[in-house]
Structure 1
């Protein structure tokens, strides 16, 4: 079995972020900070750790701040340099020339449609998809764990997480087959099943490694749950034709598309940092009195 190397990653960042209004009226939700780094920066760092060479951002109107974030800020850098300040803190925001591509999703028609918009840049190569809303904390990072599995089994892989039975209607859910450690054979997928009908409580979360053939499926994909073109529905059509596995992430996921999850991610990240943890711990102790 020949396994093509994984070099490209797609970041669907065209969503409106309505759950965080009014904060996201003029700022992309992917630029909301976890302490002092935007969500999208953490996702890009995760991709780089996994060996990704080209970042493909599927954007929409009002998302120029993402492009600016990964560009050179001449005025800022000149001012910092003139004041004797190090530019090291900006290193992660300066990607190599040619390592970034942007494509516009002109209509918010769902995750499947956003991924399909990147088809010409992806070409005939396997690619990863990272949703910045899912803030993944682990060592190694989530995508690197998936790439290690991909290099063994090939095919398509999705990140999997066990969720409570009463929450399965919020996720894409896996019909599981044979399990081998963190790997689970995927026999079926259903997007947001009605309460009580889920085939398992193993959910699909925002990390994927997909073969380019999924673009052909998305080409003719009909609208599904929520009246949108669902990536889960397209992936389900590929089961049986190509190897398909779920990889259970060894780490912690914070749902930063949810306000409570976003706050929890900020607190957990702050507590993990030696520069600010003492102050945060002291504050938390006072609020518990």
Structure 2
């Protein structure tokens, strides 16, 4: 591990001032960053601890929730308002990690998880454009069972590992940011990037910019929401495919609907084509299957992960049938 310094931010302004310095990274729960430092993939010279900043989960004037970026995943999952108004989020967090990790991990840090691609972690002979831009991607011709079927590029086929982020994408969340230039707000679906030619740039964060909060809008129909994670084993494991969905049914037909997928792309994948195909349609298996077909029509499998296409379709249908 590369030697580094450590300081604890006193408030947001202090964190932003320190975070703007070269070689500095923000430290939340450290459940991913510390691993990356051990593997010398990340080499910060200074860590700024932001876990002392806002952990509050508060009501917004319009009836939504504002979640401090330093809130622990456990606290968010157990919050009564989240469990009743946005059950999909609680279920995604609980599916995402062991209790010990949830007790340490922060909401802001969860957004910044890096891929669990084996080639990304293996710097002893494996090529990875995330780790060394321009080097190549060994996953494309290598073992790629867990990799992307949507939104990939010739530079990277890795997937985003978070479960919580899939639920946030479905819930139309927004991300509050702070930097020396002042505050700004991003739609959650715009926060993460597809790989394109620069897969090493994973988010829209600017240098030194700090996540301060996540905001959930009021979505009354999100009370009818859930999360399903399909994985190789029922214990702690990353998703092969996951589905977060919320649906409103009026007179037997689909009204408002939100769907996002995990385990299939470089970012949490908002299933906008499936949503468009569903609105106004009968809330039945045939409509759900047609929507799943529409969303996966552009899927491009690799040699080992073609099964994900059928798996994602079946998971979408199963989740929507459960909610209906």
TM-score range, shorter chain: under 0.3
What TM-score does the superposition give when structure 2 sets the normalisation length?
0.22
Which structure's residues are more often strand, by fraction? 1
Higher RCO, 1 or 2 (CA under 8 Å, sep at least 6)? Answer: 1
